[in-house]
Each structure stands twice: as structure tokens, then as C-alpha cells.
């Protein structure tokens, strides 16, 4: 946040933001084609522990991935590495959301699995540095934040495509104060909107989804949300077989809890802030944000992570070993699909469904009244190894559906 004394200073500050964003959008127009993982000699997966409970749950997810990919690792097709230094202490000491040496290391991996990181807020004692997540999305141009939520017993099968590099989050640390006025900036570009909306339509097409929902508040926020809706009209014309409609964020938030209406939604595409809020609400149906993973996908790089925070209180209270690694394991399933192993990713998702929604032979409570992260990881691995995984999963889904009717 910048404190300025005059409107002229504020104008200069805003002008610098416009110049930087115009340069960024010019680069977006020249983005390279997506990485072809099948053509890579070795896929390098970097593990970032993060802050708070991050190292504990990231380590558990890494353990599962290394076991599931043991054959590929032995053949030299997959290689794991650890990325150090993306901690709040190191970021604060260097005054950067991502220290230069850490960013250079991250760029040596095509794919990263990242634990949650702490983002300073006004007045908490940490310096005013940008969110590491936001910075990584911008630096690596990870424009698509993909968050699936599936609860078969409720008829819920949602996939949220949240724009990742623009909106209020992109300029969240660049607001200004002029006397009693406090101003933040919101940015929505045409190229940025078109590529996230196209990604959502392509996903709907590839997965045989029969509709798509574009979420804005374009009736009130006319310039930026209006541009996002205009982009949907343009891109939607290229997918005439997929009908789409626009919904306003306030009523959309209400309809996700409407039992009669919510099952009609499938693929949703939203600007950054709306996508963050709505997908967190949606995760509650699956068991909370601790159970939901997300993908951050660009053309060259991809980063997979939990959607929740770093929970530092669990660490100070000595409870980190009881943190639920479910979100990181869900993210790992998405990672497997992204690098060309969708069948293995689906198996991991099915095992997670059984372990966290259906059979639930052990409970995660975040305390010593429940299982440890390690015990839950062992439970997921044991479930994945079972020869009857798919039939158990289908039986559980059918039983829940029958009970619901």
C-alpha cells in the first residue's frame, strides 16, 4: 500500500500500474503452446513445504506420489526435488513474495506441489509483501485455477475455473491511501478473460459437459465484469454445442445451497475473487477446504496445492502431525492427471472418496482425538492397493444415491 499526499502523486502511481499491466498483457498475447508432457524425457516435480502445517501435509502427499510413481521414477521418467526457502520468515527477510533464488529454483521444475503459505495482512507485524501464491501465479503465468468438487451422493459434480492472474488479487499490494481515501485497483483484461473462459469451454467439451456457467456482477460492476461477460460471448461462439448462461455472484452463491437447483451446475468460470469465494463455499459440501485441492495451470508450468491456509496455530499448539493431508492428496490426483496419468489420478480420487466420504474407517479431527497425517496417508495407500477399489467405490456411490431417494 502506498501513502500519497496529492492527487498528482496518486495519478503517477496509477500510471505506473497501467504501464506494467499493459506490458504483462502484451506477453499474454505471445504465450507459448502448452507443455507436451508425453514428449519430455523427464518430468521434474518440485515439492514446496510452505508455512505452518504445510511441510507436514506436503511431505505426506509426496510420500504417496513417490510410491504411486515408483515405476516411473525407477525408469527416469519422473524426478522429485525439494524447493527450499518459500517460508514467511525468508520472504519477510528478503522483502519479496518469492525470493529471486527460490523463483529460479521453481522454474527448473515443470510441475510443483505446494503446501500452504502465510500471507501477511494489514497490522499483523509482517511486512507488506504480496501473497506468495499470487506472485507465483503471476511470475509463472498460471492463469487457470481449477478446483473440482465432487459429492456423488448429493449429485454434485462441479469444476470451477477461476481466473488466476488478474482482478483485485493481482494488484492487492499496490493500492493507495490519500488522506481519508483508501483505494485498491481491479484489473480485467480481454486476453486474460478469453483464455480462462476458453479453458473452461475446452474442459466442458472434452468431458462431455452439456452446459457452462459464467459468474460475474456485470449489472453493477459494468466495466471489468462487463468485459469478462463480453469475452464469454466471443469465446462461446466457438463452442455452439455447449450452451452457456451468465449468473450473478450473489444469487449463484445462494443457489449452490439450493438442493433443487445446484445439481444442474457443472462447469463454472469466474474472475479471481468470485472464484476464490465460491469454490471455498463449494468445498464445504465435500467436507471443508481441508479436503479440496486445486490446480494452477499455465502453458509452461503448473502448480498444485491445497486451497486452505497454513494454520500456524496447529503448529504452536503441537498439533501439526494431526493436520489433514486430504487437500494435498486431492491436488496430487490432479497433478497425476495433468502429467498424462489420468487413470492413476482417478484411482487416487476414488480412494480419497472412500476414505474421506464413504467408508471413513478413521477420522481426521486435527487433534489427538483423531488420526495423524501419516495414518490417513497409509489408509489411502491401502485403499488404492485393493483389487476391488472401483467396485467398492461404485457400490458406495450407488448406496448413497439409493438412500437419498
Q: Are residues 277 and 228 in the same domain?
A: yes
| Strand partners of residue 148 | 159
Radius of gyration of the chain (CA): 21
C-alpha cell at 208: 462431455
Q: Are residues 48 and 1 in the same domain?
A: no
| Strand partners of residue 2 | 176
Cβ count within 10 A of residue 358 = 18
Q: Are residues 183 and 271 in the same domain?
A: yes
Residue 303 lies inside a defined structural domain of this protein: yes
Q: Which of 355, 404, 395, 399 is nearest to 154 (CA)?
A: 404
Residue 25 lies inside a defined structural domain of this protein: no
Q: Are residues 44 and 136 in the same domain?
A: yes
What pLDDT, on a 0 to 100 scale, did the predictor assign at position 308? 84
C-alpha cell at 203: 474442459
* 178 Cα distance to chain centroid: 34
Based on the structure, what is the number of domains in the chain?
Answer: 2
Half-sphere exposure of 183 (CA within 13 A, CB side): 13
Q: Are residues 257 and 356 in the same domain?
A: no
Residue 390 lies inside a defined structural domain of this protein: yes
Q: Are residues 268 and 308 in the same domain?
A: no
CATH code at position 279: 3.40.718.10
Condensed to tens digits (0 to 9), the pLDDT of residues 209-219 reads 988 999 999 99
Residue 145 per-residue DSSP state: E
Nearest-angstrom CA–CA distance, 208 and 151: 19
What pLDDT, on a 0 to 100 scale, did the predictor assign at position 405? 67
Residue 293 lies inside a defined structural domain of this protein: no
Residue 369 lies inside a defined structural domain of this protein: yes
**Ordered DSSP codes for 325-390:** -HHHHHHHHHHHHHTT-HHHHHHHHHHHHIIIIIS--S---SSTTS--HHHHHHHHHHHHH-TTHH
Residues of the chain with pLDDT under 70: 1, 122-124, 289-291, 404-405
Condensed to tens digits (0 to 9), the pLDDT of residues 367-381 reads 999 999 999 999 999
Q: Are residues 323 and 345 in the same domain?
A: yes
Nearest-angstrom CA–CA distance, 142 and 298: 4
| Strand partners of residue 304 | 113, 295
Instruction: Give the structural domain span for 102.
Output: 31-142+298-405
What pLDDT, on a 0 to 100 scale, did the predictor assign at position 130? 82
C-alpha cell at 252: 449463484
Among residues 286, 319, 350, which one ends one of the domains?
Answer: 286
Q: Which residues contact 361 (CB under 8 A, 6 or more apart)?
A: 355, 379
Give the chain's largest Cα–Cα span.
70
C-alpha cell at 296: 494452477
Q: Are residues 237 and 368 in the same domain?
A: no
* Residues 87 and 363: beta-carbon distance below 8 Å: no
Residue 148: burial class (beta carbons within 10 Å; 0-12, 13-18, 19+)? buried
Residue 18 lies inside a defined structural domain of this protein: no
Among residues 240, 266, 286, which one ends one of the domains?
Answer: 286
Among residues 253, 286, 319, which one ends one of the domains?
Answer: 286
* Main-chain phi, psi angles of 140, to 5 degrees: -100, 0
C-alpha cell at 253: 452463491
Q: Are residues 187 and 247 in the same domain?
A: yes
Residue 291 lies inside a defined structural domain of this protein: no
Q: Are residues 251 and 328 in the same domain?
A: no
Condensed to tens digits (0 to 9), the pLDDT of residues 127-184 reads 878 889 888 988 999 999 999 988 877 889 999 999 999 999 888 778 889 999 999 9
Cβ count within 10 A of residue 371 = 19
Residue 22 lies inside a defined structural domain of this protein: no
C-alpha cell at 182: 483508501
Q: Are residues 255 and 171 in the same domain?
A: yes
What pLDDT, on a 0 to 100 scale, did the predictor assign at position 1? 65
Q: Are residues 174 and 281 in the same domain?
A: yes
In 19-28, which positions are buried (b, 16+ CB within 10 angstroms) versus exposed (e)?
Answer: eebeebeeeb
Residue 39 per-residue DSSP state: G
Amino acid at each position: 500500500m502506498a501513502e500519497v499526499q496529492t492527487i498528482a502523486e496518486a495519478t503517477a502511481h496509477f500510471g505506473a500500474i497501467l504501464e506494467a499491466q499493459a506490458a504483462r498483457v502484451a506477453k499474454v498475447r505471445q504465450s507459448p503452446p502448452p507443455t507436451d508432457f508425453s514428449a519430455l524425457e523427464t518430468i521434474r516435480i518440485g515439492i514446496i513445504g510452505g508455512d505452518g502445517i504445510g511441510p507436514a501435509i506436503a511431505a505426506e502427499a509426496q510420500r504417496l506420489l513417490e510410491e504411486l510413481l515408483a515405476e516411473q521414477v525407477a525408469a527416469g521418467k519422473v524426478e522429485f526435488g525439494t524447493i527450499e526457502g518459500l517460508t514467511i520468515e525468508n520472504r519477510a527477510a528478503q522483502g519479496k513474495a518469492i525470493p529471486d533464488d527460490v523463483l529460479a529454483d521453481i522454474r527448473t521444475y515443470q510441475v510443483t506441489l505446494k503446501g500452504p503459505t502465510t500471507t501477511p495482512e494489514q497490522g499483523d507485524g509482517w511486512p507488506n509483501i504480496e501473497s506468495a501464491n499470487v506472485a507465483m501465479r503471476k511470475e509463472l503465468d498460471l492463469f487457470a485455477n481449477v478446483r473440482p468438487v465432487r459429492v456423488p451422493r448429493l449429485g454434485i459434480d462441479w469444476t470451477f475455473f477461476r481466473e488466476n492472474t488478474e482482478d483485485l488479487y493481482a494488484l492487492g499490494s499496490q493500492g493507495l491511501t490519500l488522506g481519508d481515501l483508501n483505494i485498491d485497483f481491479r484489473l480485467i483484461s480481454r486476453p486474460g478473460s478469453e483464455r480462462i473462459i476458453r479453458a473452461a469451454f475446452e474442459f466442458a467439451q472434452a468431458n462431455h459437459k452439456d452446459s457452462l456457467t459464467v459468474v460475474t456482477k456485470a449489472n453493477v460492476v459494468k466495466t471489468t465484469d462487463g468485459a469478462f461477460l463480453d469475452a464469454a460471448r466471443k469465446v462461446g461462439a466457438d463452442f455452439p454445442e455447449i450452451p452457456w448462461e451468465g449468473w450473478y455472484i450473489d444469487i449463484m452463491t445462494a443457489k449452490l445451497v439450493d438442493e433443487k437447483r445446484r445439481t444442474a451446475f457443472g462447469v463454472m468460470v469466474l474472475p479471481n475473487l468470485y472464484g476464490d469465494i465460491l469454490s471455498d463455499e463449494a468445498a464445504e459440501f465435500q467436507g471443508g477446504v481441508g479436503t479440496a485441492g486445486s490446480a494452477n495451470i499455465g502453458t509452461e508450468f503448473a502448480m498444485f496445492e491445497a486451497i486452505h491456509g497454513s494454520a500456524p496455530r496447529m503448529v504452536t499448539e503441537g498439533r501439526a502431525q494431526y493436520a489433514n493431508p486430504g487437500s494435498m492428496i486431492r491436488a496430487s490426483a490432479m497433478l497425476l492427471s495433468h502429467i498424462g496419468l489420468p487413470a492413476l489420478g482417478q484411482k487416487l480420487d476414488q480412494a480419497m472418496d472412500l476414505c474421506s466420504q464413504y467408508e471413513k474407517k478413521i477420522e481426521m479431527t486435527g487433534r489427538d482425538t483423531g488420526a495423524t497425517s501419516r495414518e490417513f496417508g497409509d489408509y489411502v495407500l491401502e485403499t488404492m492397493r485393493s483389487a476391488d477399489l472401483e467396485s467398492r467405490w461404485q457400490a458406495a456411490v450407488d448406496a448413497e444415491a439409493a438412500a437419498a431417494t
